[in-house]
Amino acid sequence: MPVPVSKRLGVQELADLNERFESACDGCLRHAVNERFGAGAAQMSSFRLEDVALFDMFWRVNQQARLVTLDTWRLRDGNGNVDTVMVQDTGCPLHNARIEAGTNWPRACGVWQRMVGEHGFNLFYRGPGWRLDCLCTGGRSSSLERFCLAGIDAWITGLRRDQGMERGNIGIVEWEEPRANYKINPLANWTFEEVRNYVEEHAVPYNELHDKNYPSIGCAPCTRAIESGEDPRAGRWWWESDPNAKECGLHLVALAARL
- Residue 25 is among the residues annotated as catalytic for this protein: no
Determine, following the binding rule CB under 6 A, whether residue 222 of this chain makes contact with ligand SF4.
yes
Nearer to ligand SF4, 136 or 253 (CB): 136
User: Could you tell me which stretch among 98-106, 112-120, 158-166, 214-222 binds ligand SF4 (CB under 6 A)?
Assistant: 214-222
Determine, following the binding rule CB under 6 A, whether residue 74 of this chain makes contact with ligand SF4.
yes
Nearer to ligand SF4, 133 or 176 (CB): 133
Determine, following the binding rule CB under 6 A, whether residue 219 of this chain makes contact with ligand SF4.
yes
How far is residue 238's CA from residue 222's CA, in Å, rounded to a whole number?
A: 7
How far is residue 100's CA from residue 34's CA, in Å, rounded to a whole number?
A: 34
Reported as half-sphere exposure (CB side, CA atoms, 13 A), residue 121 has a value of 4
Determine, following the binding rule CB under 6 A, whether residue 72 of this chain makes contact with ligand SF4.
yes
How far is residue 21's CA from residue 33's CA, in Å, rounded to a whole number?
A: 14
DSSP string, 29-87: HHIIIIIIIGGGEEEE----HHHHHHHHHHHHH-TT-EEEEE--S--SHHHHTHHHHHH
Helix (H, G, I), strand (E, B) or coil at 124: helix
Nearer to ligand SF4, 131 or 160 (CB): 131
Q: Which of 31, 36, 66, 140 binds ligand SF4 (CB under 6 A)?
A: 140
For residue 182, give the H/E element and its range.
Answer: strand 181-184
Nearer to ligand SF4, 41 or 136 (CB): 136
User: Could you tell me which stretch among 1-9, 61-69, 196-204, 217-225 binds ligand SF4 (CB under 6 A)?
Assistant: 217-225
Determine, following the binding rule CB under 6 A, whether residue 154 of this chain makes contact with ligand SF4.
no
Residues paired with 42 in a beta bridge: 66, 155
**What residues are labeled active site?**
248
The residues binding ligand SF4 (CB under 6 A) are 72, 74, 124, 131, 136-137, 140, 218-219, 221-222
